[in-house]
Structure 1
């Protein structure tokens, strides 16, 4: 969702109906279907995705995800055919990420790139072109920054799952980096995203949006530092509870930051 608001905040003339429809397609159909399919393939028995005790998926879940995907593609075609093609690409990559026969998620680098390029860069592109009244060139800096913002957060969500992932023959980017290395890596990638955003807004000769984003990111950075300090003392602190708190805080602050930018841009 933060990438959605970020993309909208960079559009001068928004097609309001398309913005509503794109929001529905992504957040009510595509994302839940992707999570549902991943749950069907993973059959997690340990905490995952904000759920401490996940229920075991049934065959009906698979059917529901297929119906949701089909509906998402049909609605996407009413926005534009190239938008529908982008949604199809997202769905395909999501399935290859989870499907047992391919299972991109078991490869640390490929799995990581699949997530950040689709959830970050591709989603920004889809929202930007799908909701824009003008025919314009998509600015590359926000596209890359979106991928980096996802890349600076996603590995953190894996730090408590190393044992469960190993048992499932999955080797994540977080396992490759190690628990402490994951925190360092995320800080570096996050820093690159912020540097790119600074250069983007500086080129537009307005740093106000960048400063607004920084104000909302302060709680996230403070929590990250405090949590990392605990992990340095005892890696057991890289647990489900801390991860979910980080997840909720980062999501809330990032959404609010880009919603504020959207409102400011439209004034």
Structure 2
């Protein structure tokens, strides 16, 4: 397996779409240590997530578009070993952050492996995989990041306002996750995987996204107590929402429009909007005058 093919299957750029969870936790941390923040960022996004991507790619052996890969290269055992090496590196480096963080990393890694390993293959259970992936990439990762950034005890990391923020992250994932599967129906059918998007159907996938995204916005409104800072969120998401509605209209009339490139544009706009919002939130929270005005 060539180094380039290995790199492609790690899908490191895909971590950008999961970065909002880290940025949200960072923005809500009382006094995050810069060194810990950088370590947690790198361990999660350059080791944990790529390890999960590589492991899943090895067992899925996709031939059609998957993730951010329109034409995934063939895989071999090298990818399997690379996945384990990245996981072990994440655990080893995680010791510097703290043993609770190592525990979170271990649990996440095991769940991600169960997603595609033939002996479990959560992916073939549409509702279970939808809920589990959204929960672990959302609430679980948010709580893990809050604990790691702030050296919280477990009791401190599961306080109600942290759990609410994590729940909102999960709702975001519940909305977007089936959208990332909507163009893979043929590929998933070839492997016998009934994903959530296949279960819902193409139009149903879009309706589900609208419902979950609406609940997510309601959750954010509650979390921010309806204060002015909340309104920065829909402003940042406006390009993504506009694209989604136009795409939804096209797909409703012609389901072939639910293709790889449109799904990637949608994911990119949503990820970009969320990342911008949470970066703004981070700077606002550390600017007392802005915090007073907006929160």
Is the contact made by 2:27 and 2:279 (CA closer than 8 Å) also made in structure 1?
Answer: yes
8 A contact 1:108–1:176 mirrored in 2: yes
In structure 1, the residue matched to 2:134 is 116
Deviations 1:91-130 (A, max 9, x none): 0000000111110011001111111111001110011111
Separation in structure 2 between the aligned mates of residue 164 and residue 201 of structure 1, nearest angstrom: 41
In structure 1, what is the Cα distance between the partners aligned to 2:59 and 2:20? Answer: 26
Matched residues in 2 for 1:248 and 1:158: separation? 15
Question: In the alignment, which residue of structure 2 is the partner of 1:264?
Answer: 284
Return the TM-score normalized by structure 2: 0.87
Residue deviations 1:192-234 (CA, integer Å, cap 9, x gap) = 11101101111xxx62321111110111111110000001111
Shift of 1:134: 6.2
Q: In structure 2, which of residues 218, 239, 250 is the aligned counterpart of residue 195 of structure 1?
A: 218
Q: Aligned equivalents of 2:50 and 2:98: distance in 1? A: 22
CA distance in 2, matches of 1:254, 1:180: 25
Contact persistence 1:116–1:150 (CA under 8 A): yes
CA distance in 1, matches of 2:252, 2:85: 46
Counterpart pick for 1:228 among 240, 248, 261: 248
8 Å Cα contact 1:14/1:133 also seen in 2: no
Q: How far 1:190 moved relative to its partner?
A: 0.8
Q: Aligned to 2:228, which of 180, 202, 208? A: 208
How many equivalent pairs are there? Answer: 264
Q: Distance in 2 between matches of 1:103 and 1:66?
A: 18
In structure 1, what is the Cα distance between the partners aligned to 2:38 and 2:234? 27
Aligned partner of 1:172 among 191, 195, 199: 195
Instruction: Provide the alpha-carbon RMSD of the alignment.
Output: 1.2
Aligned to 2:238: 218
Q: What is the SS of the residue equivalent to 2:118? A: coil
Residue 141 of structure 1: CA displacement? 1.1
Match of 2:16 in 1: none
Native 8 Å contact 1:15 1:133 kept in 2 = no
Please show how residues 1-267 of structure 1 align to structure 2 within 5 Å: 1-132=19-150, 136-137=156-157, 138=159, 139=161, 140-202=163-225, 207-267=227-287
Work out whether residues 146 and 152 of structure 2, in 8 Å CA contact, stay in contact via their aligned partners in 1: no
Q: Secondary structure at the match of 1:123?
A: helix
CA distance in 2, matches of 1:133, 1:59: 37
Shift of 1:22: 0.3
Question: Matched residue of 1:152: which SS?
Answer: helix
Q: Cα deviations across residues 229-265 of structure 1 (Å, max 9, x unaligned)?
A: 0011111110111111111111111111111111111
| Residues 54-96 of structure 1: CA deviation (Å, up to 9, x unaligned) | 1011211111111110110111122121111111010000000
